[in-house]
Structure 1
Amino acid sequence: MIPHKIDKEEFSKLPIVSHSGNVVVVNDVAQAEAAIQAIRDAHSIVGFDTETRPAFVKGVTYKVCLVQLSVGNTGYLFRLNLMNGIPDCLKNLLEDKDVIKVGLSTHDDFQNLHKWDADLTPRGFIELQLLVKGYGIEEMSLSKIYALLFKKRISKRQRLTNWEAPSLTDKQISYAAFDAVACVEIYTELTRMGQQIINQ
């Protein structure tokens, strides 16, 4: 039985999990095309997340500068700010209903991506916040859901760092990649648990 919630004290005591797989940082359109082809060739469920430079001044906002996709334990980080927008190959993948993508709070991600491309129409997405409700989970954040399922904690220290920096730090890269990987891990675990219930 999955606990419905996790309190702050219990959460803070959990060991921190870090990304141990490969990461591909995508800085230009040619690299994006190669990355998207690799993702398509994997014929697997794709993890999805985005990052935006935090604004600490009232009224100041920024566009999404990073789209994270993952296949298996490999993360692909698309630096939209360096490509001045969403490359066609990435847009096509996000709109491809036959490529299943898993994310959390995707509505917010889509709204922010529309600042780059108002015509973007994402398809083929599974929203984890809706999925977990079917398992009685009341937590809505990625880190809390992950903690309930795996008894490990995703560090969020990098979330408010500058994602538009000329070069991302190793910690930023690891954090960003794992957020996408974690989405698929959560989906896979919930699917496994659901299948167990059916088979009993």
Structure 2
Amino acid sequence: MVVILAVEPWWQNPALVVGTSSLGSRQRIASRRPSLAFGPSEARKMRSEQALSIRSIHRRVPSTSTQRESRLPMTVVRIPQRLDIDTLPRFEGLPLDRILTPVTPEQFVQAVAEITAYAEVGFDTESKPTFKVGELSNGPHLIQFATPEKAYLFQVGVEGCIEAAKAVLESDRVLKIGFGLSSDRSRLRSKLGIELRHYLDLGTTLRYHGKKGQVGLRGAVAAVLAAGLRKSRSVSTSNWANRSLSEAQQHYAANDAYAALNVFLALDDEAAASLYERIVDRPQRQP
């Protein structure tokens, strides 16, 4: 799928398109970006048919003891809402032989080396669901990472898992990309003592045209990749604490992280550049 992006600075005429560029998602996903290289690539600019609009807005940030009141740009990427998700071609996730589950400290070390070789990776977590009133989850039980080539499933409780996950999640050299990362961040901090750093939550940066609510992974895959991401409720509510994950669980977990990465890499370079300011580089203060 080829995408066109129109940059619409709020202080200029909204009808004025100051930059358009696009890149086919398959071509883009097969390549790596140098770390922190988010500028548009002039050599790869071309036109396409579908538009996403980027609109910068400003909101006032309340003063704190460490941050004075200021006006900061807040970028939102507008995407079309697809109502035909179930009829779209199925999203092509990773095959099982490219989904790795480390089980020894040595395998975790190797996994970290492979993951951190990329500037951007997909990220998500899974927790064993709770079904009783008042029952609290003790997750996360699974931490997923995805590169353009492979996915890695880190099972919490396996020797070497926490250290390996910490090396990736707290790294400021690898951008972690996902959807709805607020709860993941909170659970990682409170349950595992891991501070999620240098990450981008596409759920807070993507918006449907004319709507204010956040966009979920399935809707983003449909809008940006023109594909349908099938998500089984029976799998999503399965026991993620099991040491032996079923093939369905492995595909589900891996492709949540892999799809998020695909969405980001399929965005135009103008969009990626505009989203740079939305990257969270350090732990947020607790109230």
* TM-score, normalized by the shorter chain, greater than 0.5: yes
Quick one: distance in 2 between partners of 1:170 and 1:93?
25
Match in the other structure for 1:35: 111
Whether contact under 8 Å (2:119, 2:173) holds in the other structure is no
Match in the other structure for 1:187: 264
- Distance verdict in 2 for CA 1:108–1:193, change over 3 Å: same
Whether contact under 8 Å (1:29, 1:87) holds in the other structure is no
Q: Which runs of 5+ in 2 are unaligned?
A: 1-50, 53-78, 273-287
Number of matched pairs: 190
Q: Which runs of 5+ in 1 are unaligned?
A: 196-200
Whether contact under 8 Å (2:180, 2:204) holds in the other structure is no
Would you say 1:177 and 2:177 are equivalent positions? no
Quick one: distance in 2 between partners of 1:135 and 1:96?
34
Aligned-pair distance for 1:18? Answer: 4.0
RCO comparison, higher one (Cα < 8 Å, 6+) = 1
Give me the TM-score of the superposition, normalised by structure 2. 0.60
Relative to total residues, which structure has the larger helix share, 1 or 2? 1
Would you say 1:69 and 2:151 are equivalent positions? no
Aligned-pair distance for 1:34? Answer: 1.8
Quick one: distance in 2 between partners of 1:30 and 1:87?
13
Whether contact under 8 Å (1:102, 1:128) holds in the other structure is yes
Give me the TM-score of the superposition, normalised by structure 1. 0.83
SS at structure 2 position matched to 1:101: strand
Match in the other structure for 2:124: 49
Map 1:103-142 onto structure 2 (within 5 A).
103-118=178-193, 120-133=194-207, 140-142=215-217
Would you say 1:101 and 2:207 are equivalent positions? no
What CA deviation, in whole Å up to 9, does each residue of 1:112-135 have, x standing for no partner?
2123224x2221101112332398
Aligned-pair distance for 1:177? Answer: 0.8
RMSD: 2.4
Whether contact under 8 Å (1:4, 1:139) holds in the other structure is no
Whether contact under 8 Å (1:86, 1:116) holds in the other structure is no
Q: How many percent identity over aligned positions?
A: 25
SS at structure 2 position matched to 1:140: coil
Quick one: distance in 2 between partners of 1:35 and 1:136?
42
Whether contact under 8 Å (2:105, 2:161) holds in the other structure is no
